Chains A and B, each alone.
Chain A
Amino acid sequence: MELIAASRIVKAVGRIGGARTYFREISELTRELLVTLPSYRPPLSQTTASGTTVLILVTSDRGLCGGYNSSVIRAYEEKVRQIDGPIELIGIGRRFENYLHFRGTASAVQVNGVTHLPTLEQAYSIIGPVMKRVDAGEVGNIVVLSNRFYSLGVQRLEETTLVPIDPATLVGDTTETVAHFDFEAEPTLEDVIDTTLHQLVVAEFFGLLLEASAAEHAARQRAMKNASDNATELVRNLTRAMNRVRQDAITTEITEIVGGAEALAQGDRAMSGDER
């Protein structure tokens, strides 16, 4: 299982690299468009006090991956305490579904079979309906709790706010002048900004799913490596104990044989002394 997880990490990391170009480009474009038209305040970038908070939890479908799922669940319990308004849950992964089932509740939407190999279609189908509700003003915030992949050794549970979008977090050099971004736009700059912001949310969410997938495989590989190491240690200790017991038995047997032989020899000597 350790080797299988290791081979899956390579694929998962490759997919993160493939998705990075799109995210960087759309993030840069969004920033430039917002700089070009500073008077426009797109709805997706504005904080709304009212409206439901949609909380998306990304866990795995299977276990044997160390603290990967428990960290998400712990963060969820803490987050729920912090949020005042109404919350709607979108659970990804059977582990979160099982946790809620144990608590006698369920997510508004539950999607399984995603983190093993997330697809773009799955990302659209999860985030698309939520974005529509954001546009309708029903949802004010979208927050994702998921594991981020930094390296084979480092994966961290992080909270990502997809909506409202904070323009300060967008990729790019903010020192460039406005004149540099003098775009001609079709249909209008405002429409294009809204479209880029929607696409940015989809790209970021898809990126989070890819990172969660890579983090899951890395966590599973580490858990399996620890299990293998522990098993090796256990085998070594048991082998040592077995050898000791066997050696004790041999020593006892030899002692008995030598003792018996000595007793016989003494008997023989006593008998030959009597005969004399």
Chain B
Amino acid sequence: MANETFNLVIANPELVLVDEEVESLTLRSALGDAAFLAHHAPFVGEVEVCLATVVKRPGDSFQIVIDGGLVRAGGNRVVVLANDAQRASDVEQESLRRRRQRYEERLEELDDAVAESELRSLELRGSLID
């Protein structure tokens, strides 16, 4: 028997990356790893820079890099409002190199929290390519 599903929306201020029925979502919230299944209790929390895993059905899953943001669950729906997000399969060497270069150029003007978050994001993306 198929597991129950819920509506998952992952969006950043620019576009909607995911809007579909899925079985589960795993990501890193402010207090540790969090998994969401169908009919999750009403919840709202901050999301850390992480590699989220989305399982659409057994054997069919994909990963998304989330650069921090918010997650909200309720009414058999989970919405991730990411500061920025990118499908792991879309991460590629050239754009990562450009992003790293921009980060290095702007490092002086960034405050510590933003710089640390961006560095984690770069490392995470780098680990997907290596």
Which chain B residues lie closer than 8 Å to A113 at the CB level?
none
Does B30 belong to the interface (CB within 8 Å)? yes
B84 to chain A: closest residue by CB: A120
In the bound complex, CA of A181 to CA of B34 (Å): 20
With a cutoff of 8 Å between Cβ atoms, the chain B residues found around residue A23 in the complex are 13
CA distance A120 to B67 in the complex (A): 13
0 or 1 for each of A119-154: is its CB under 8 Å from B? (1 = yes): 111010100100010000000000000000000000
The verdict on A262 contacting chain B, using a C-beta distance below 8 Å, is no
Q: Which residues of chain B are within 8 angstroms of A128 by Cβ–Cβ distance?
A: 114
What CA separation (Å) do A192 and B30 show in the bound complex?
10
Docked complex Cα distance between A71 and B73 (Å): 43
Total interface residues on B, CB under 8 Å, equals 30
Binary per-residue interface labels of chain A (185-224) against chain B in the complex, 1 for a CB within 8 Å, 0 otherwise: 1110101100110010011001100000000000000000
**Cβ contact within 8 Å between A182 and B14:** no
- Asked if A202 and B9 make an inter-chain contact with CB atoms under 8 angstroms apart, the answer reads no
| Interface membership of A184, Cβ < 8 A | yes
Residues of chain A contacted by B19 (CB below 8 angstroms): 21
In the complex, whether B12 has a CB less than 8 A from a CB of chain A is yes
Which residues of the other chain, B, contact A181 by a CB distance below 8 angstroms?
42
Chain B CB within 8 A of A76 CB: no
Q: Is the CB of A186 within 8 A of B29?
A: yes
Interface assignment of B41: CB less than 8 Å from any CB of chain A: yes
A residues contacting the other copy or chain, number (CB 8 A):
34
A84 → B minimal CB distance (Å): 31
* A203 CA to B19 CA, complexed, in Å: 19
B45 and A185 contact, CB distance less than 8 A? yes
In the complex, the answer to whether B16 meets A21 with C-beta atoms within 8 Å is: yes
Q: Is B91 an interface residue (CB 8 A)?
A: no
A207 to B74 alpha-carbon distance, docked (Å): 26
Q: What separation, in Å, do the CA atoms of A21 and B43 have in the docked complex?
A: 20
Residues of A within 8 A of B46 (CB): 186-187, 191-192, 195
- Tell whether A206 pairs with B14 under 8 Å between CB atoms, given A183-B42, A183-B44, A191-B46: yes
Taking a contact as CB atoms under 8 Å apart, the answer to whether B43 and A18 are in contact is: no
Q: Which of B14, B34, B45 touches A19 (beta carbons < 8 Å)?
A: B14
> Which residues of B in the span 55-74 have a Cβ within 8 Å of any Cβ on A?
69-70, 72, 74
Q: Is A166 an interface residue, CB under 8 A from the partner?
A: no
Do B12 and A22 have beta carbons less than 8 Å apart?
yes
Q: Pick the residue among A18, A120, A192 that contacts B16 (CB under 8 A).
A: A18
Q: Is the CB of B13 within 8 A of A186?
A: no
The contact of B43 among A25, A33, A184, by CB within 8 Å, is A184
21 contacts between A and B (CB under 8 A): A18-B14, A18-B15, A21-B11, A22-B14, A22-B16, A23-B13, A119-B14, A120-B14, A132-B111, A182-B42, A183-B42, A183-B72, A185-B43, A186-B29, A186-B44, A187-B30, A189-B44, A192-B45, A192-B46, A199-B70, A199-B83
**Contacts from A to B (Cβ < 8 Å):** 15, 18-19, 21-23, 25-26, 29, 33, 119-121, 123, 125, 128, 132, 181-187, 189, 191-192, 195-196, 199, 202-203, 206-207
